[in-house]
Amino acid sequence: MPHSLLTPLAHHAQDLLSAVRRDAPLVQCLTNFVSMNYAANAVLAIGASPAMVHAEEEAPEFAGFAGAVVINIGTLSSPWLQSMLLTAKAAADADTPWVLDPVAHHATAFRRDAIQRLLDLKPAIIRGNASEIIALAGGLSAGKGVDARDAVAHAEQSARDIATQRQTVVAVTGETDYVTDGARAVHITGGSPLMPRVTATGCALSAVVGAFAAVSRNDAFAAAVAALSCFGIAGQRAALHADGPGSFAWRFLDALAALEADCLTRESPLR
């Protein structure tokens, strides 16, 4: 993206972080067992309020007043899928933006069917690794389970195709992230090689994307860019003093909480 367009986008990201901190939006997360604690802490660190509400008996109702909904299929089961489908529909009916994290959606027939049903309920943003996005577009990925084996650059065309066909925003995360709505696109640098060595950093990112979607209802692209920019800067800062994945995990949460809004322009990772 030309530099003349990156500067306003960075300023918009700065404004959105200020809005998250000011409004503390309620982010409903239907996420996996592995990521619940870390994702909730990441949402708190960025300044929003997490609600890990997933039961079919209450999750759809909750979506009606949440600021955003995040659906992550990491530890999928039939009861959870039913709740996810009802909650995504309720979110759409209430004009609540919702984020889809298609964890290992290509691994089994159950997951492949689930992801198609969820896609039909029109997520505002899809956040996945390169292998997940390539497979989501119908391509042949090298992914194995939840692990990405494809470069982000190889997923860019798939991301654009999905964004255009589904009228959504697609965020592909990896060494250099890529975000597109089919018309606009941007690369985001930063982060650390330690991030994929900590369980639930990707899931936590999807939850934080939800926080930004809640304060940017008219521009999901800007929301995804702002969230990934925060993760990129925080990851880079946390890695400076981390001795390994264990110390990185808590340093990263501290770095998220310590982000100054203007760092998104001073240290902009947008390319």
Q: Which residue ranges make up the annotated binding site for ATP? A: 127, 173
Binding-site members for substrate are 52, 200
Binding-site members are 52, 127, 173, 200
Mark out the alpha helices in the chain (DSSP H runs). 3-23, 36-46, 59-63, 78-93, 109-119, 130-136, 152-166, 201-214, 220-239, 245-258, 263-266
Nearest C-alpha neighbor of 153 from the set 172, 137, 127: 172
Helix (H, G, I), strand (E, B) or coil at 251: helix
d(CA 210, CA 216): 10
Residue listed under structure tokens 């001073």: 266
d(CA 173, CA 204): 12
